[in-house]
Amino acid sequence: MASALTDKLSRLVKTISGQARITESNVTDMLREVRMALLEADVALPVVRDFIARVKDKALGQEVIGSLKPGQALVGIVNKELAATMGEGVADINLAAQPPAVILMAGLQGAGKTTTTAKLAKHLIEKRKKKVLTVSGDVYRPAAIEQLKTVTAQAGAEWFPSTPDQKPIDIARAAIDYARKHYFDVLLVDTAGRLAIDEALMAEIKGLHAELKPVETLFVVDAMQGQDAANTARAFGEALPLTGIVLTKLDGDSRGGAALSVRQITGAPIKFAGTSEKIDGLEVFDAERHAGRILG
């Protein structure tokens, strides 16, 4: 992963490596570069501060100073800490529940919830051989219900109808009932989003969570949201016991620092990345590769 480092940081490592001894001020210089790289990637400031503090503690504690190759030792600590924060290995969708396993999709409007619901349906049908039903609880935007219908058909899953005059909780109950009677393995519940976090929205989704008892509660977040992703993640993480994150629009030109912020703030693993608008634009999230992208 040394290739993941910024040019500046690599140069600094070389300079330091050439020295017989490393000083605390060298460590500080290097960490300043790491800090810049993280901020340039749009990692939220408090998350960057925490990260740097942890690395500094370890660097000084583990005697980077005085070690044979101090530059490399420090880079090793940075990479290890990054990997530990991002989560190691891959985390697939958990379906260990009495069928139907319910998956609740949460996030702001425009984050990519509806698109991701269909992508996930396709993934579960093709990769896990599951019978999948989708339903929309977005009673505020009839177009959103129609959109889910369209993309569900593209995914080859079944769509459960809902209408704007219904209450989301009633829709949820009816969909679960239908899924049980027709032996669906998975029920994917798309929910209403707002342009910004608001209390009514949070209360509604908490109610849905209590009713549905989902095995997965996925927070869908737009990687292009940059710094704002941190605040959104905090609000959803406080309202719901999130079990995973889907980071969408990673095909954009952001360095994806939102991944680090969202992961650290919620503690939930990033399970998937959205990589295009198309129905097959969903990849299992690779934390190590992504750590490289963040450092630039």
Please tell me whether 266 is known to bind a ligand. no
Query: Cβ closer to ligand GDP: 77 or 192?
Result: 192
Q: Which residue is nearest to ligand GDP (CB)?
A: 274
What is the nearest approach in angstroms of ligand GDP to the Cβ of residue 163?
A: 18
What is the rounded CA–CA span in Å between residue 278 and residue 259? Answer: 21
Angle at which helix 258-266 crosses helix 70-86, to 10 degrees, equals 60
What is the rounded CA–CA span in Å between residue 83 and residue 71? Answer: 18
What is the nearest approach in angstroms of ligand GDP to the Cβ of residue 281?
A: 5
How many Å separate Cα 60 from the centre of its chain? Answer: 31
Query: Cβ closer to ligand GDP: 67 or 276?
Result: 276
What is the rounded CA–CA span in Å between residue 81 and residue 40? Answer: 18
Please tell me whether 116 is known to bind a ligand. no
The footprint of ligand GDP (CB under 6 A) covers 107, 109-115, 193, 248-249, 251, 274-277, 281
What is the nearest approach in angstroms of ligand GDP to the Cβ of residue 86?
A: 19
Please tell me whether 249 is known to bind a ligand. yes
Please tell me whether 119 is known to bind a ligand. no
Query: Cβ closer to ligand GDP: 115 or 266?
Result: 115
Please tell me whether 144 is known to bind a ligand. no
Nearest residue to 119 (alpha-carbon basis) of 263, 288, 284? 284
DSSP of 112-134, one letter per residue? SHHHHHHHHHHHHHHHH---EEE
**Pairing mode, if any, of strands 270-274 and 282-284?**
antiparallel
What is the nearest approach in angstroms of ligand GDP to the Cβ of residue 51?
A: 26
Question: Which residues define the annotated binding site?
Answer: 107-114, 190-194, 248-251
Question: Which residues define the annotated binding site for GTP?
Answer: 107-114, 190-194, 248-251
